[in-house]
Amino acid sequence: MATIPANTRLAARRTASGWLGALVKAAREAPLMAVIILGGLVLVALLADLIAPYDPTLPVKGAEMFVPPFWMEGGSVATPLGTDFQGRDILSRLIYGARVSLVVGLMGTLVAGGIGTAMGILSGYVGGWVDQIIMRVTDAWLALPAIVFAIFLAAMVGPSMWNIIVILGAVYWTRYARVIRGEVLTLRERDFVKLAEIAGASKLRVIKKHILPNVMNTATVLASLTVGVVIIAEASLSFLGVGVPPPQPAWGLMLSEARPTLMAGQWWLTVFPGACILLIVLATQLFGDWLRVRLDPQTRNL
């Protein structure tokens, strides 16, 4: 019996390129816009202390309230995007606000995804009454309007950034549970899962080695959608006054605080934070889409 040789082309490529090559390849395929926007925002959030010209919570010394952006009449280069109703620098507030949006968006998604994926796998793989209970709770959860539910929870535990993260996680986990459960139900019937069970693998091992890796794809796609939703939800909660408490700078809070003056023509108080929310949500969606393709070994052409 002749042995079939290993695919030499594949073997050669793996050894020659290594991780550096993989990195270069990933960079080449990444959606440039999304990576630039997200990378920029992450950098800004990390280096906020270094690059923000002023303290975001205090009025700029010697600056008026409602100074317009620098290109408008009466604008000043010292406060390039103008000042708000307290004379605080809008640019500095936007820079620090990126921290809040990114931390809440990512952590909230992580909490929601963690709870939801665990529940979905438990429900789908264990089945029986465990499945019944989890799914009925999910139904009840989904029947509540997300934002109203979040407001209710936020009003109960009080506003703070970390509370918001936990609340949004607790509100949005149900989508994961539902979708992941469906995925697990089909996976459970796949031959490779049955083979593992026949070989004597424990439930925990099957979940770890076969179920989890195969639902990560779906979980990632959901996460890419959730990051945007969570960021908007955080902005909405802050806008409604139950989110990040003032004077901490958050984009949603900035919108909320600028509401009374919106009609008075001071558009820079709202347009800049609004544009930031739009950009970050758009970028996360694009990035998530790219990630979905990358995570599939068949489409990533390994």
- In terms of CB distance, is 139 or 296 closer to other proteins? 296
- 3-state class of 3 per DSSP? coil
Query: CB 298 → other proteins: shortest distance, Å?
Result: 5
Element (H, E) at 34: helix 32-46
The CB density around residue 29, as the number of other CB atoms within 10 Å, is 12
- Closest distance to other proteins from the beta carbon of 17 (Å): 14
Residue 7 CB, shortest distance to other proteins, in Å, is 6
Identity of the residue, 10 or 23, whose beta carbon is nearer to other proteins in the bound complex? 10
Which residues lie across from 258 on neighbouring strands? none
Q: Both ends of the chain: CA-CA distance in Å?
A: 29
Q: Minimum Å distance from CB 205 to other proteins?
A: 7
**Least gap, CB of 3 to other proteins (angstroms):** 5
Work out how close the CB of 299 gets to other proteins at its nearest, in angstroms, rounded to a whole number: 10
For other proteins, the closer of residues 162 and 192 by Cβ is 192
Considering only CA atoms, which of 266, 264, 236, 271 is closest in space to residue 250? 236
> How far, in Å, CA of 37 to CA of 31, rounded?
10
Q: Name 89's bridge partners.
A: 83
d(CA 138, CA 170): 11
Q: How far apart are CA 169 and CA 61, in angstroms?
A: 39
Q: Which is nearer to other proteins, 8 or 62 (CB)?
A: 8
Binding site for other proteins (CB under 8 A): 1-7, 10-11, 14, 190-192, 194-201, 205, 209-210, 213-214, 297-298, 302
Q: How far apart are CA 2 and CA 127, in angstroms?
A: 46
> Taking the complex as a whole, how short is the minimal distance between the CB of residue 4 and other proteins, in angstroms?
6
Residue 55 vs 209, nearer CB to other proteins: 209
Q: How far is the CB of 178 from other proteins (least distance, A)?
A: 22
How far apart are alpha carbons 121 and 144 in whole angstroms? 23
Query: By C-beta, is 7 or 61 nearer to other proteins?
Result: 7
For other proteins, the closer CB: 19 or 71? 19
If the CB atoms of residues 8 and 71 are measured against other proteins, the closer one turns out to be 8
Angle, helices 268-294/90-121, rounded to nearest 10 degrees:
40
CA nearest neighbour of 295 among 222, 195, 203, 237: 222
Instruction: Round to whole Å and give the CA distance between 297 and 167.
Output: 34
Q: Which residue has the tokens 């909320």?
A: 256
